[in-house]
Amino acid sequence: MTSIKEVIRCLEEIAPLNYQESYDNAGLIVGNASQAVSGVLVCLDSTEDVVKEAVEKGCNLVVAHHPIIFRGLKKLSGQSYVERTVIRAIKENVALYAIHTNLDNVFYEGVNEKIAQILGLINNHILHPKADLNHRDAPVGAGVVGQLTVPLSEMEFLKLLKSTMRCGCVKHTQLLNKPVKKVAVCGGSGSFLLNQAIKQNADVFVSSDFKYHEFFDADQKIVIADIGHFESEQFTIDLIAGILSEKFSTFAVRSTEIYTNPINYY
């Protein structure tokens, strides 16, 4: 039987834990690494319903993109969704593992390369390389920048973006009335990379969680396209499930059927 430890080793060969940001909490959060795996459920967010789904599908390991615990828990009384999820996981003997900013920061089989592939970008490379993390041949860093095979008008690109990324809406800055050739992307909260996208001469920067005043920072140099946090990372589920399915055949790898996006659109 395959152990949780072996699954973790596979994931961390692709995205080592030391690649995660200092604020992050990737890794095994709940569970015993020596336990045998009966099945894996992949999701973006570990919630109580996802743990319930894992049990129903015979999975004793949940691999999520977002860590359920970011800060230390001082109590487990079930007063928050985090506490209830952890309690349920322990009660049901379901391990919770998160592969977060470490997966964001790798290029090959990483979150942002996946987005670039979905958008059909070519000649892709890391938007903001991190030399201090690059102790092997594979590139490491934040975001990805690439080129469209055929230039599009800004409105054509926004339509393509909304369709391929399954967005309820796209919040964007003023259109600049020039062709879109070069596109920068960052799954999740990517406003910290805006200046890098501008320096790389990207025509559009696709990310999420921009604050009101941060949209002004585009300064008519680039179009910011904010597609929503969940929407920008939703294909990470397919990415992780594909990695595990290719590597392991002794247990089932399933993708969650629960829509965990906490944001709704009217």
- At residue 71, the pLDDT reads 83
Collect the ranges in the chain with pLDDT lower than 70. 132-134, 136-137
- Residues 157, 160, 161: CA angle, nearest 5 degrees: 85
- At residue 130, the pLDDT reads 86
- At residue 133, the pLDDT reads 61
Contact between 199 and 222 under an 8 Å Cβ cutoff? The reply is no
- Segments making up each domain of the chain, as ranges: 4-100+234-255, 105-226
Rounded to whole angstroms, how far apart are CA atoms 105 and 126?
9
Q: What is the pLDDT of residues 66-125, one digit of tens each?
A: 999 988 888 899 999 999 999 999 999 999 999 999 999 999 999 999 999 999 999 999
Strand 27-30: give its sheet, edge to edge.
27-30, 95-98, 61-66, 39-45, 252-255
Q: Residue for token digits 């059909």?
A: 120
- At residue 8, the pLDDT reads 98
Q: What is the pLDDT of residues 25-37, one digit of tens each?
A: 999 999 999 999 9
Domain 4-100+234-255's class? alpha beta
Residue 266 DSSP code: -
- Classify domain 105-226 at the CATH topology level: 3.40.1390
- At residue 134, the pLDDT reads 57
Residue 258 DSSP code: S
Q: Note the pTM of the prediction, 2 decimals.
A: 0.94
Radius of gyration of the CA atoms of the chain, in A = 19
Same fold? 4-100+234-255, 105-226: yes
